């Protein structure tokens, strides 16, 4: 059920016909695309932003007119109603003219609207329509749409009338602005005859339904090929960067690497707290990835992990993954805190003797 | 306790060495389940600027604690970025980067001061009291091996390490015999390994 976008009345002389306007056309336009952020293919969001308050809701906005630099006056719906112009709610017919197919009034059409008369105006509406159709006339009128007064033409159309909004004459650019060839050129009769033949061969009745947007179809084919041809790159589910856990893992890896370097340089006693076979095997594989560091921590002596489990007593808002336990074992290794025996020290000593 | 600047990293079994994280010193107080942050030269409470640190309250296993450490802001690759930190502090509504808190000392816990305890004991208590979290955890370091840590830290692109004497008590002001900042030489190009670039996003169902 279409929604009318304007209500008012056709006015001329003493006649008033209450009507509603509906857009006669809708734009299918091209295919619509979404804007994505390239690295992660997430849809971007447009936020309304106030320089003072940050992100705000659209419902908190009003329209303002800048009457002087930086000075605004707020204009509300009520103000628009107060505009003292009779065409605000009326289609004022200025005059009737012969309905010309090709003159100004059809060439520079902006938008077409269907007219639907209100119940009380039905008879008058149909009468007007009948008269225009029989006499071959159209009505030139003025109407206020979207805060602008517009020139329009009213024509009988199907069971109703069509209101076509037109560009104002001063909005129509002069043809003289173009670089056109001299209109009076000499043609040979044979040339004219041949041109006529070509044109007549393609002459026929205009059937709009025969035409469609072929570019759109072609583009859809390209898209389909891309969807099937290559693997669709689904955006990776956004995992929160694991912040400090990862940072400390990098530190551990750096320390291990620094120790290895130290061992190579000194060829001395085995480095303290060298973690596990897994890590040893990868001794030459630098850099160490977080994955490997995690696996290495996971295979550490169970004793260290058990003690750590106790420390994870209240991880409520924190990610409870096994990554935390191994990380604490890392703490055991790296911290080597105090002489006053802590959990850490015994774990370290145990490994040393292993 | 503010550090004195030392000459160079050294090895000493009586000291604990940690990376000098590029952030700002901050004290986090947790009282009755509420978190308050305090930073020098900042009048306003920065707690509102770092909502991601609220998890700290759940990570602490006791009440009435003060945690001393470094406030960092990590970029998308998990690297601490001082510029992002500046941006966050300048604009309380900014949510640039990821806020994180690395804790290095525990001067107060269970409602009583631990200043008389040796650092080693305070740190042990810290490890008991603070469960590791992604946004806040106790700082990691090495005991005794200052030079090894310096090498490790240099390869991460950081420029200093901290050294704390394990037997030292908490002292106000500059405590050069207890707390040092030791500059670290940047490694030569051949030694630099882009370890910090290795941080990868892992699939959600990875179980560590």
Same domain, B95 and B111: yes
The verdict on residue A283 lying in a domain is yes
Which residues in chain A are contacts of B35 at CB distance < 8 A?
none
Beta bridge partners of B5: B181
Hey, of A241, A285, A336, A344, which one would you mutate to test binding to chain B, going by the most B CBs within 10 A of its CB? Answer: A241
- Structure-model confidence comparison of residues B35 and B202, the more confident one: B35
Q: At what angle do helices A324-335 and A302-311 cross, to 10 degrees?
A: 110
pLDDT, one tens digit per residue, over B43-81 is 667 888 888 888 888 889 888 999 999 999 988 878 888
| Residue recorded with tokens 């940047």 | B186
Phi-psi region of A309 (alpha: psi -120 to 50; beta: other; left: phi over 0): alpha
Check residue B111 and give its pLDDT. 85
Of the candidates B132, B135, B195, the beta carbon closest to that of A287 is on B195
Beta bridge partners of A71: A68
Look at residues A141, A170, A199 and tell me which one is the last residue of a structural domain. Answer: A170
The verdict on residue A177 lying in a domain is no
Q: Is A331 on the interface with B (CB under 8 A)?
A: yes
- Other CB atoms closer than 10 Å to residue B141's CB: what's the count? 27
pLDDT, one tens digit per residue, over A106-140 is 678 888 999 999 999 899 999 999 999 999 999 99
The verdict on residue B170 lying in a domain is yes
- Are A330 and A252 in contact by the 8 Å Cβ rule? The answer is yes
Q: Which residue range is the domain that position B32 belongs to?
A: 22-138
Q: State whether B143 and A317 contact (CB < 8 Å).
A: no
Same domain, B84 and B32: yes
Counted across chains A and B, CB pairs separated by less than 8 A come out at: 193
Which of A110-124, B11-25, B34-48 is least confident? B34-48
Q: B96 CA to chain A: closest CA distance, Å?
A: 14
Same domain, A154 and A16: yes
Identify the three-state secondary structure at position A311: helix
Same domain, A10 and A152: yes
The verdict on residue A274 lying in a domain is yes
- Other CB atoms closer than 10 Å to residue B105's CB: what's the count? 21
Same domain, B98 and B167: no
Q: Is the dihedral of CA A184, A190, A194, A199 positive or negative?
A: positive
Check residue B66 and give its pLDDT. 92
Helix, strand, coil share (%) of chain B residues, nearest 5: 25, 35, 45
The verdict on residue A75 lying in a domain is yes
The verdict on residue A166 lying in a domain is yes
* Cα–Cα distance measured from residue A328 to residue B144, given in angstroms and rounded to the nearest whole number: 20
Same domain, B63 and B52: yes
- Are B25 and B104 in contact by the 8 Å Cβ rule? The answer is no
Same domain, B27 and B13: no
Look at residues B119, B138, B157 and tell me which one is the last residue of a structural domain. Answer: B138
Closest B-chain CA to A286:
B193
Q: B131 CA to chain A: closest CA distance, Å?
A: 6
Same domain, B66 and B157: no
Q: State whether A288 and B74 contact (CB < 8 Å).
A: no
**Run of H or E including A96:** strand A90-98
Same domain, B37 and B77: yes
Residue B47 is given by DSSP the state G
- Are B187 and B154 in contact by the 8 Å Cβ rule? The answer is yes
Number of structural domains found in chain B:
2
* Cα–Cα distance measured from residue B96 to residue B77, given in angstroms and rounded to the nearest whole number: 13
Look at residues B104, B121, B138 and tell me which one is the last residue of a structural domain. Answer: B138
Give the CATH number, domain containing residue A166. 2.40.290.10
Kindly tell me the burial class for residue A315, based on how many C-beta atoms sit within 10 Å of its own C-beta (0-12, 13-18, 19 or more): middle
Give the CATH number, domain containing residue B37. 3.30.470.30
Q: Which residue range is the domain that position A308 belongs to?
A: 245-353
Look at residues A155, A170, A185 and tell me which one is the last residue of a structural domain. Answer: A170
0.90 exceeded by pTM: no
Q: Is the pLDDT of residue B137 over 60?
A: yes
Task: Read off the tokens for A2.
Answer: 């279409």
Phi-psi region of A29 (alpha: psi -120 to 50; beta: other; left: phi over 0): left
Mean pLDDT per 10-residue interval, chain A, length 354 residues? 83 88 82 86 87 86 89 86 74 86 70 92 92 91 85 90 88 83 78 82 84 83 80 52 78 84 64 41 41 53 40 35 40 42 38 40
pLDDT, one tens digit per residue, over A195-222 is 888 888 888 888 888 888 888 888 888 8
| pLDDT band per the 50, 70, 90 thresholds, residue B102 | very high
> Which residues, including other chains, have CB under 8 Å from residue A353's CB and lie 6 or more apart?
none
> Which of B124, B120, B52, B50 shows the shortest CA–CA distance to B91?
B50
Q: State whether B201 and A261 contact (CB < 8 Å).
A: no
Q: State whether B55 and A317 contact (CB < 8 Å).
A: yes
Number of structural domains found in chain A:
2
Same domain, A145 and A294: no
Q: Is A316 on the interface with B (CB under 8 A)?
A: yes
Check residue A313 and give its pLDDT. 35
Q: Average per-residue pLDDT in chain B? A: 83
Same domain, A123 and A13: yes
């Amino acid at each position: 059920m279409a929604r009318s976008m304007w209500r008012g009345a056709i006015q001329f002389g003493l006649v008033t016909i209450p009507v509603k306007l509906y857009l006669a056309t809708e734009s299918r336009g091209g295919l619509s695309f979404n804007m994505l952020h390239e690295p992660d293919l997430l849809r971007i969001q447009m936020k309304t932003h106030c320089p003072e308050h940050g992100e705000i809701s659209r419902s908190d906005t009003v329209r303002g007119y800048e009457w002087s630099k930086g000075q605004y006056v707020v204009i509300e719906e009520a103000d628009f109603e107060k505009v003292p112009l009779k065409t605000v709610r009326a289609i004022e017919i200025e005059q009737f003219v012969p309905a010309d197919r090709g003159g100004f009034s059809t060439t520079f059409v902006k938008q077409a609207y269907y007219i639907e008369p209100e119940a009380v105006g039905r008879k008058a509406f149909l009468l007007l329509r009948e008269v225009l159709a029989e006499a071959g006339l159209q009505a030139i009128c003025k109407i206020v749409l979207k805060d602008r007064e517009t020139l329009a033409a009213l024509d009988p159309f199907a069971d109703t009338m069509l209101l076509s909004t037109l560009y104002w004459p001063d909005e129509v650019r002069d043809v003289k602005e173009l670089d056109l060839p001299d209109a009076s050129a000499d043609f040979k009769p044979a040339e004219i005859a041949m041109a006529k033949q070509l044109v007549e061969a393609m002459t026929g009745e205009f059937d709009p339904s025969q035409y469609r947007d072929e570019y759109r179809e072609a583009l859809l084919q390209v898209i389909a090929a891309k969807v099937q041809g290559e693997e669709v790159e689904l955006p990776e589910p956004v995992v929160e960067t694991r912040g400090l856990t990862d940072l400390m893992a990098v530190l551990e890896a750096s320390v291990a690497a620094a120790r290895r370097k130290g061992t190579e340089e000194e060829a001395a006693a085995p480095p303290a707290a060298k973690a596990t076979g897994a890590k040893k095997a990868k001794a030459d594989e630098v850099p160490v990835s977080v994955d490997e560091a995690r696996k290495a921590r996971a295979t550490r002596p169970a004793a260290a992990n058990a003690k750590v489990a106790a420390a994870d007593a209240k991880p409520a808002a924190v990610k409870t993954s096994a990554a935390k336990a191994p990380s604490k074992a890392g703490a055991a290794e790296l911290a080597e805190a105090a002489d006053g025996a802590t959990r850490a020290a015994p774990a370290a000593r145990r490994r040393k003797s292993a | 306790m503010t550090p004195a600047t030392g000459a160079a990293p050294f090895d000493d079994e009586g000291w604990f060495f940690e990376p000098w994280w590029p952030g700002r010193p901050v004290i986090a107080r947790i009282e009755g389940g509420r978190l308050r942050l305090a930073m020098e030269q900042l009048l306003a409470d920065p707690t509102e600027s770092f909502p991601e640190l609220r998890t700290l309250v759940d990570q602490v296993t006791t009440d009435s604690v003060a945690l001393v450490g470094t406030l960092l802001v990590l970029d998308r690759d998990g690297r601490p970025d001082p510029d992002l930190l500046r941006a966050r502090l300048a604009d309380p509504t900014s949510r640039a980067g990821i806020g994180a808190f690395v804790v290095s000392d525990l001067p107060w816990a269970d409602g009583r001061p631990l200043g008389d305890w040796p650092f080693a004991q305070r740190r042990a208590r810290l490890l008991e009291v603070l469960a590791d979290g992604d946004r806040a955890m106790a700082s990691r370091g090495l005991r005794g091996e200052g030079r090894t840590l310096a090498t490790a830290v240099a390869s991460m692109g950081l420029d200093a390490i901290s050294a704390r004497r394990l037997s030292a008590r908490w002292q106000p002001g500059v405590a050069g015999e207890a707390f040092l900042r030791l500059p670290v030489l940047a490694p030569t190009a051949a030694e630099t390994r882009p370890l910090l670039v290795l941080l990868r996003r892992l699939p959600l169902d990875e179980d560590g």
